[in-house]
Structure 1
Amino acid sequence: MNDKTKNSDALSRRRLLRTGAYAVGAAAMIGVAATAADAQVAKKASHASAGYQETPNAGKSCGSCRQFQPPSSCLTVESPISGNGWCRLYAKKA
């Protein structure tokens, strides 16, 4: 083996290791970002912060909201939710 071939192999391994390190770092950052996004989505608003009340408001009720999931759940507000209730996060079903 001559010196030129030996240097070429070393450079190739170095480049491979460097690229691998970048790939592992990028994958770790993507994992952290995905975990943070999931945590934000999973957290629901409390009854108090959403202004939830057990009675309808001006004909609007949880039962006609797109976030409501019968019988007593909501995508954005903590359970339990009444179909006759209402909150500030109300979004009419299409």
Structure 2
Amino acid sequence: MTKIPSPETRATMGPDATTGPDALSADRTISRRTVLGGAALIGAGALCLRATRASAQQKQKQADVQYVDKAPGADKCAGCAMFQAPDACQGVEGKISPEGWCNIYSPKA
């Protein structure tokens, strides 16, 4: 038979007591359903993140980035980190002139 401590004794035991009614019970377990549900949520979150990254890497339309075939200044597509010779860009759709420019221009390092 388990002896239940008096209120005075329980007050001195504190919340981290290992015996008595304040102790954490050994029957506090996590169900398999809870674990599987958490894993499913993590997996769904990872898929959403991957889809967001993929859409962020899609090329933009030339009109959306104000692309022009002749650069108005010294900054030209040929000097951009995203330019792919001879006539492509990592960030803009379509054929790109090395002499062109757009508002996502990023100089080569």
The two structures have a TM-score, normalised by structure 1, of 0.74
Q: Secondary structure, in 3 states, of the residue corresponding to 2:57?
A: helix
- Cα RMSD for the two superposed structures: 1.9
Give yes or no for the alignment of 1:76 onto 2:70.
no
Spell out structure 1 runs of 4+ moving beyond 4 A.
none
User: Which among 56, 72, 93 is matched to residue 57 of structure 1?
Assistant: 72
The residue aligned with 2:22 is none
Give matches, 1:12-91, under 5 Å: 15-42=31-58, 44-91=59-106
Q: Unpaired segments of 5 or more residues in structure 1? A: 1-7
The residue aligned with 2:11 is none
Q: Secondary structure, in 3 states, of the residue corresponding to 1:77?
A: coil
Q: Once the 2 structures are TM-superposed, how far is the Cα of residue 92 of structure 1 from its aligned partner?
A: 1.4
Q: Once the 2 structures are TM-superposed, how far is the Cα of residue 23 of structure 1 from its aligned partner?
A: 0.9
Distance (whole Å) between structure 1 residues aligned to residue 80 and residue 72 of structure 2 = 12
Q: Unpaired segments of 5 or more residues in structure 2? A: 1-26
Using the aligned pairs only, state the percent identity.
25
The two structures have a TM-score, normalised by structure 2, of 0.65
Q: Once the 2 structures are TM-superposed, how far is the Cα of residue 15 of structure 1 from its aligned partner?
A: 0.9
Q: Secondary structure, in 3 states, of the residue corresponding to 2:55?
A: helix
Distance (whole Å) between structure 2 residues aligned to residue 21 and residue 91 of structure 1 = 44
Question: Larger radius of gyration, structure 1 or 2?
Answer: 2
For each residue in 1:34-67, what CA deviation from the matched residue of structure 2 results, as whole angstroms up to 9, or x when unmatched? 112211222x221112111111222221111111
Between Structure 1 and Structure 2, how many residues are aligned? 83
User: Which amino acid counterpart does residue 101 of structure 2 have in structure 1?
Assistant: W
Which of the pair is proportionally richer in helix? Answer: 1
